[in-house]
Structure 1
């Protein structure tokens, strides 16, 4: 044997040895893999043919399943029924009653190949089946025929078997009926939102006209709505959804041009047809509509209930709303706000919108909600809307982030409640690539102050520096862990320290509830239980043991926020009858004013929003009730106090915070001696050095020695008091005269007016005892 033959023999032996070692080629050859694939394809085709032969077009069921939804308080008492004569309005119209161009808008929106296809989109359906199997929900494309089949012949459940039935029935429907019949069926059975199924009901709901009078622009909007009916209702949509529906409306009209149904010149001149306001069901008056709306929103967004299935009815929905607390909240808003407004005669008063959400921190249940004066006249819920900034109510989460991450100042000092920062107004932050120098309220400088004092006085310059020390990104992460929600761009910049993100009162009630729950993350739930005979019972989870904050972090923040209510901007929320912690907030240009706070048993966020009733544009609240600046320590704090007093039982009022705080964070313990840096000349110390009182376990907090007071400015705003026990709010822009030394004895609120103030903080003096209360002092001077 030659050398070449020997080498070949060795190579053959090596290959045989390798094959014997692995054995993989004995089982997986390209011929076997290809054969298996072809076999599976043939088997799948055979199965599909068999399914096609055995499946018949079922009878239409869209109208047969329409019934009421029933809504109950937490104790089972029914407070609302929707759709008593059918869960949604529906009236079929013939094709000749729908303008031809309007018909084509639906084709342009959903299925440009509708007139040429066989009724199905294999690629889109395969994508839908894959998304269903992988748990990604109802993504994937469908033809108009498939959507009509789903609407009229099947249920909206997302299962593989339902998707295969849809495919088979769509083929049969396309084979049996002409395209015009299918298109008409689709237009007549689709759900458009506002309780309207079918184009005739939609035309009336959105444009107060019959379908035959719709314009192309209006038809394009109705066609665009079908992708997300409630979310795309432009009058009630979030800013993000408004942009999305506008983009989709333009998409529909651009496709009309591509289809040859519109001339480009005509398309260029078209303007968006703004729909008419919602005509609410009279049975949803007052707060009822807001409660129903919040429940449906949670079912659709969080619990993934199909919108049309919810509209079709058959649900028994029990809310966590406590009837007693709900009534207490409504009365508090009426007494502390609405009774003081002149909505018809005062231009500013007509713009005021109030919202509130109250949560039980032990469970995460939403126990009370205030969405506005009346759902019949204002369908955007002020409790759940997310288009306003929470302002300084965000500051506690900056401090929480510092504690959670063991952050240090620029000088390397640990950040605690007694850490000293410069309170100078417009002080540029150090250590940031992004320049930022925020102004304090009234442009007031405080010199060197502790974090605890800065929280009480809501000093912007301190928290701007703190968020740089901690890091905006880390601060955002902690805020989200505490229960805040990322609504669009949260903003990871120093200016985030002013609370420039968007949030709802439900978001803030949940986040503050997490602090009350010692750091356990709360995702507020208004739904206690939702039942439907064809679906599994829904019981949402609201309180999570994981994913929140460390207990010591939450409890330390609570201790600092208790001080805010004792001698800071939240004094108007403190009644002395309960233990509480909280924070005020006033947004840029005074467009929103907040108070968010909690007792051991109740976490509540109250807000006022300025909104032009005609345009919906955000406007300033300054001048509300013929007063000055409407800050968080005013109307929101007083509403919060009134509600909390009425909502808590005697036992609940006596509940104590069981706190595990870091050293020096207990607000009852005096801070260390002041720094050596001399205070500004504008501040006159009035307090003599005393021996620090011991910390006791008594439920009643000890009396406080008055803190240093500012020399009162000259002429200016009025306190909101006037010879009564509750006194009033401190002055603003122009200051005010010193308070009367007699705090008064009248238990009712006074009628004096607060002065204005600049954006950037919420420092409010404790009530004076005179209508000229000005900045005020606390305690009242003897």
Structure 2
């Protein structure tokens, strides 16, 4: 047997021996099963290859794209451009002095929208260079940046930049700052629609006006003021580049509070902006090379409403709403720029005069009466009606009522010139038939019953200190503020005519009723009103309505204001004759000590009238030069946190004086302010064809031995028909009549015959002013 055969025999024998073993059969079956499994695996892979062929994947991709496009079309059709959100529409109201200096900004949002044309082209380009160089050529959306933003939002990675200027504007103005998928999809759709409906200029303007720049400033105008103290129209390219750089991180990049790292970053971004401008050919390389970083100003406290500014703000706001018929809700929403006529120098001088002549002389801790004194004052240009200065009270945050515009206190004897004006305007006569003028004689006896056509009308006011003057001229009665004379004069003229003249001259109180007691100024009036009345007299009878507003603009629209100077309400001769008479009050009357003898007067002609109400609850001096009218009022008001709080109370004892009369603190304040606020001395240009002021006749307290004069008192009964409907005793005033102004001077010496400086009559053909 050969070797080959032996091997085969061994193999056969081994196979036979191994066959009965169960394990061998199992392995064989397992092998078959493994082979079947192996064949099955190859089948699964084949199935997957058959299911996901490249054709099917490509088809699925395009299907998904079509679905997304369909969904986007639906979104585009469903989503409209919404109205701007309310917060984005809010603006501040800006209040300025006459020289353009900002006095205050008010409102919940510090924003003032400006037109793009107000900015230089280079400043406009700084924002494009900082945020979106392709702004002028793109379609308003950055799909890559939006997709990145969506991914980061979905993955929780937070805010992601990269949006275009259009998208940022849409987010600021139409939507919110929320980082949601829904908001981002809306942003995309609305941005495309905004691009179709608005120009690039409109979009850029909207963006820079709605963005936040830090320091509480929304929009470029507020930012320009906050960082550089100037209007946006005056920004340099360097300053514009800084503001554009701020938008990336307003708080971190504010130079005044930035860390060294923050300063490094903002300066790098500032360079980035300018370099991009050079790249886009918006800035010359040589010009860029010479630019230095414009460090912004340190933050300033927001313009508040403390001190006098609060009163000025409230007065200007009230006038704007009333004169321009602006709904209060619209005004509060902002967007108005209100420029006042207030002259900063005169305003400071008025405040100084009140402080030095009144406040420094009051000691509320030592004298209870001193805490009751409130002061108000208004200064007006009689030729233009401009309110050049206003004093409303000690501080707007401490006393909210504006004493310059309040009309709840009596003007007292400052009303007497109105009675004389009515008499001259109506060519009225006394009861004895004398024409009423400065030289007309009246009986100045205290408590003399007022008569009309021989009948007593039930009114007999006392003079100050119950003093009898006897027969006096109208001039002397005005100088000494004799109540009994003007009470009778009012009846002679007719109280209905007196009240009509008061309204024509500018008084608008609801209390202008034709009662006899109104001759003593028992109605309410404000310093603003009385300044207007006297300004009309100073303006030769042409109506002057004091106006605190110089201009009002809403956005770029300048709103028309009513004319402060109206037509003639009393004849020139009437107004000028009253002015002539009022010079005597200063030169020989109740204002002599404080005004005539003031060292700063230096020959300046002055006309004016004092006033002191009953029980010393108010005290006034209203007077004028040819170029300026000022009314000063002091009011007794119950001190805060007392049982009298807010009530009208007496000022007796205030400032250490027995009585605060019009010739004391009010006249002193007036004199210091006026003689330091006017320029070169000027003279009244008067046409006194109705009768000029006259030198007063000397008068002394009446005594039983006093000789009668040859002049017949006006109260002598005559058969002359009455000039008005008789005033019945039932027409009583609702308040106690005020007394006339006291004089701190001793009783006049019978041998003394003072004169006043009466202007000469004008030549024919003189131009009216």
**TM-score when normalising by structure 1:** 0.54
Shift of residue 434, structure 1, vs aligned partner: 4.2
Indicate conservation of the 8 Å contact 1:320/1:365, yes or no.
yes
Indicate conservation of the 8 Å contact 1:766/1:778, yes or no.
no
- Report the Cα distance in structure 2 between the residues aligned to 1:322 and 1:338, rounded to whole angstroms: 22
Show the counterpart of 1:77. 101
Shift of residue 454, structure 1, vs aligned partner: 0.2
Show the counterpart of 1:548. 569
1:80-479 equivalent positions in 2, closer than 5 A: 80-83=104-107, 85=109, 283-431=304-452, 434-479=457-502
Indicate conservation of the 8 Å contact 1:366/1:525, yes or no.
yes
- Report the Cα distance in structure 2 between the residues aligned to 1:767 and 1:444, rounded to whole angstroms: 13
Task: Give the length in aligned residue pairs.
Answer: 454
Shift of residue 300, structure 1, vs aligned partner: 1.4
Task: For residue 283 of structure 1, give the secondary structure of its aligned residue in structure 2.
Answer: coil
- Report the Cα distance in structure 2 between the residues aligned to 1:317 and 1:489, rounded to whole angstroms: 32
Indicate conservation of the 8 Å contact 2:414/2:611, yes or no.
yes
1:612-627 equivalent positions in 2, closer than 5 A: 612-614=638-640, 615-627=645-657
Structure 1 683/295 Cα, relative in aligned 2: closer, same or farther at 3 Å? farther
Q: Which sections of structure 2, spanning at least 5 residues, go unmatched? A: 1-79, 113-173, 175-301, 708-736, 755-769
Shift of residue 85, structure 1, vs aligned partner: 3.8
C-alpha distance after superposition, 1:453-500 (max 9, x if no partner): 000000000000000000111011111111222x22212111010101
Show the counterpart of 2:659. 629
Indicate conservation of the 8 Å contact 1:460/1:761, yes or no.
yes
Shift of residue 286, structure 1, vs aligned partner: 0.8
- Report the Cα distance in structure 1 between the residues aligned to 2:403 and 2:633, rounded to whole angstroms: 8
Task: For residue 496 of structure 2, give the secondary structure of its aligned residue in structure 1.
Answer: helix
C-alpha distance after superposition, 1:641-669 (max 9, x if no partner): 000011111x2xx11101111365234x5
Q: Which sections of structure 1, spanning at least 5 residues, go unmatched? A: 1-55, 89-152, 154-280, 686-757
Shift of residue 343, structure 1, vs aligned partner: 2.3
- Report the Cα distance in structure 2 between the residues aligned to 1:357 and 1:683, rounded to whole angstroms: 47
Task: For residue 86 of structure 2, give the secondary structure of its aligned residue in structure 1.
Answer: coil
Show the counterpart of 1:712. none
Show the counterpart of 1:655. 682
| 1:509 counterpart (520, 531, 539) | 531
Task: For residue 348 of structure 1, give the secondary structure of its aligned residue in structure 2.
Answer: helix
Show the counterpart of 2:164. none
Show the counterpart of 1:59. 83
**2:636 is equivalent to residue 610 of structure 1:** yes
1:498-537 equivalent positions in 2, closer than 5 A: 498-533=520-555, 536-537=558-559
Task: For residue 360 of structure 2, give the secondary structure of its aligned residue in structure 1.
Answer: helix
- Report the Cα distance in structure 2 between the residues aligned to 1:360 and 1:518, rounded to whole angstroms: 13
Q: Which has the larger radius of gyration?
A: 2
| 2:507 counterpart (459, 470, 484) | 484
- Report the Cα distance in structure 1 between the residues aligned to 2:303 and 2:407, rounded to whole angstroms: 26
| 1:762 counterpart (733, 741, 749) | 741
- Report the Cα distance in structure 1 between the residues aligned to 2:107 and 2:554, rounded to whole angstroms: 15
Structure 1 763/588 Cα, relative in aligned 2: closer, same or farther at 3 Å? closer
Shift of residue 335, structure 1, vs aligned partner: 0.5
C-alpha distance after superposition, 1:624-656 (max 9, x if no partner): 11221101011000000000011111x2xx111
Shift of residue 422, structure 1, vs aligned partner: 0.5
- Report the Cα distance in structure 2 between the residues aligned to 1:364 and 1:682, rounded to whole angstroms: 51
Show the counterpart of 2:14. none
Show the counterpart of 2:618. 592
Structure 1 355/682 Cα, relative in aligned 2: closer, same or farther at 3 Å? farther
Shift of residue 681, structure 1, vs aligned partner: 2.3
- Report the Cα distance in structure 1 between the residues aligned to 2:110 and 2:96, rounded to whole angstroms: 19
C-alpha distance after superposition, 1:516-549 (max 9, x if no partner): 10111011000000101275523331111x1421
Show the counterpart of 2:578. 557
- Report the Cα distance in structure 2 between the residues aligned to 1:534 and 1:501, rounded to whole angstroms: 43
Indicate conservation of the 8 Å contact 1:321/1:368, yes or no.
yes
Instruction: Name segments (4+ residues, structure 1) moved above 6 Å.
Output: 682-685
Shift of residue 360, structure 1, vs aligned partner: 0.3
| 1:497 counterpart (513, 516, 519) | 519
- Report the Cα distance in structure 2 between the residues aligned to 1:356 and 1:421, rounded to whole angstroms: 33
Task: For residue 89 of structure 2, give the secondary structure of its aligned residue in structure 1.
Answer: coil
**2:669 is equivalent to residue 639 of structure 1:** yes
Indicate conservation of the 8 Å contact 1:568/1:765, yes or no.
no
1:12-27 equivalent positions in 2, closer than 5 A: none
C-alpha distance after superposition, 1:349-397 (max 9, x if no partner): 1111000000000101000000001111111100001111101000000
Task: For residue 59 of structure 1, give the secondary structure of its aligned residue in structure 2.
Answer: coil
- Report the Cα distance in structure 1 between the residues aligned to 2:675 and 2:106, rounded to whole angstroms: 33
Aligned residues: CA RMSD: 3.5
Shift of residue 680, structure 1, vs aligned partner: 2.6
Show the counterpart of 1:723. none
Shift of residue 582, structure 1, vs aligned partner: 0.3
Show the counterpart of 2:46. none
